[in-house]
Amino acid sequence: MEIQMLNLLWGVLLLAIPGYLIYTCDRLELPRFVLPVVRMLVQMSAMGGCLWLLYRYDTVWLCLLWLAVLVVAAAFLLVSRTRMPSRVLMLPACVAMYVSVLVVSAYVLFVALRPESPMSARWFVPVSGMLMAHVLTTNIHAVRTYFDSLRQDSVPYYTLLGNGAPRLKALAPYITRALRSMTVPAAANLSAMGLFVLPMLLSGLLLGGMKPVMAVAVMVLLVVAAIAASMLSLVLTLWLCDRRAFDKSGKIIIES
């Protein structure tokens, strides 16, 4: 199915309905509606151009480069949302998210789904993109919880460390708290995804010609893969941040 540009413009004209209602009720609110819409259109146009390049040339290296760009953008967002110094979190987050999403995506494509061209843009882009979105949203909560707990309640950590406990054991309560902050929202998000997000993705698979049973199986597989990628990314992030957040004696050196 192809949509002509003129037909797309006719569809975009539907924005005139909310725009007219907002203009009629409160003209001052109209810029707050128009600016996000324009920003969304620009972002979607840029995304469309990137996807056109990916599907036009369709090479493994281009797909890996696309994932790298996606990871860097996600890492910047992760650093800003967790209020962590970029020198501590930026590089570990990039490495952890890239490795976890790439490994889990490869497992899904080469072991579970096994399409004809596993690393083609047609398969790699949607699978890695969905995993990346879930990894980012869940890791924001978990990483922020971990470092906020260390900043605000470091007494148990120093107590265990002073009594001769290994640093990993002293950090265990904070890691557990971070994992809990990830798993509880993730479980809640799964129910929301089942009601709202997954049906839209499922509709896309059906529109793409996939059989209903196969489409449901793919969605279940992707949800399980997203949880696994999120857990792997969190563990790698905290492990790679260790030398940047603590000195050799185990003292916390991140800014409060």
Which tokens in the block code for residue 34?
Answer: 């128009």
Report the chain's mean pLDDT, rounded to a whole number: 82
**Is the pLDDT score of 193 beyond 60?**
no
The 10s digit of each residue's pLDDT in 7-20 is 767 777 888 888 88
What's the burial of 128, exposed, middle or buried (CB within 10 Å: 0-12/13-18/19+)?
A: buried
* pTM (two decimals): 0.80
Residue 58 to residues 125, 205, 211: CA-CA distances in angstroms?
A: 10, 20, 25
Residue 124 near residue 63, CB atoms below 8 Å = yes
Q: Cα 72 to chain center, whole Å? A: 11
* 80 Ramachandran zone, left/alpha/beta (phi>0; psi -120 to 50): alpha
pLDDT in tens, 15-60: 888 888 887 887 777 788 788 888 888 877 787 787 788 888 888 9
